[in-house]
Amino acid sequence: MEFRHEWKIEINLADLAALRSRLRVLMQPDEHAAGGRYQIRSLYFDTPTDRALREKIEGVNRREKFRIRCYNGDTGFLRLEKKSKQNDLCRKEGVPITPAQAAAFAAGRPPGAGPGESLPPLVQELSRKMVTEGLRPKTVVEYTREPFFYPPGEVRVTFDYALRTGLRCTDFLNPGLVTIPAGNAPILMEVKWGAFLPDVIRAAIQLPGRRAAAFSKYAQCRLYG
């Protein structure tokens, strides 16, 4: 996947209501979002010295982080993802993984391959970095997402809110995992696009006094452990 542009803009409830009404006219809802939204749970990985966290806080231009993700509590559909940042551009690689592979990663060990089985390259990469760089699961991050899509420019606008943290708990597959609100986390609008951002969408997302700024759900949740 090619690098894409990404803006993150902190908004409030009044902004959210106004933006919803505009984008519902212009953009398509995500077909997988029941009622226009879904729940995301992610398990993030970091080194013993919290390199991914420190690089985000320090604004390092080239960085990466790994996470496992599921939607609406469905642990039958799990993805391992690697998000890379280069200056103001981002790229996300992902691959489906099995519950057994996710459980191994959540326990802090690389999953094994069965007889005749070949693990996907991304699974092999995280496994290798668990050995060579000490990557380990750090915390569970949960939130609600409202997604919209606009095919020209491959534009995706999402609203993320109700951010919660698992503190130091990494029991990712446990449906009864207890999470708590991640402090005063804002409502976050994320705007992602490929080669160009159409003027009609650029105009629709404009809000007085709101500007793109750095925000990390992972960093916000790590404030608590």
Which residues are registered as beta bridge partners of 155?
A: 150
3-state secondary structure of 102: helix
CATH number of the domain that 150 lies in? Answer: 3.20.100.30
Averaged pLDDT of the chain: 93
pLDDT score at 32:
76
CA 17, 21, 27, 29 torsion: positive or negative?
positive
Residues 6+ apart with CB under 8 A from 132: none
Quickly count: other Cβ atoms within 10 Å of residue 19's Cβ: 22
Any idea how long the chain is? Answer: 225
**Residue 67 lies in domain:** 4-222
Give the Cα-Cα-Cα angle 98, 102, 146 (nearest 5 degrees). 90
Q: How many domains is the chain built from?
A: 1
pLDDT digits (tens, 9 = 90+) for 179-195: 999 988 999 999 999 98
CB distance 127 to 39 below 8 Å: no
CA dist 7 and 54 (Å) reads 20
Instruction: Report the predicted TM-score, pTM, of the whole model to 2 decimal places.
Output: 0.94
Give the Cα-Cα-Cα angle 185, 187, 191 (nearest 5 degrees). 125
pLDDT score at 88:
80
pLDDT surpassing 80 at residue 224: no
Give the mean pLDDT of 117-140.
96
pLDDT score at 140:
96
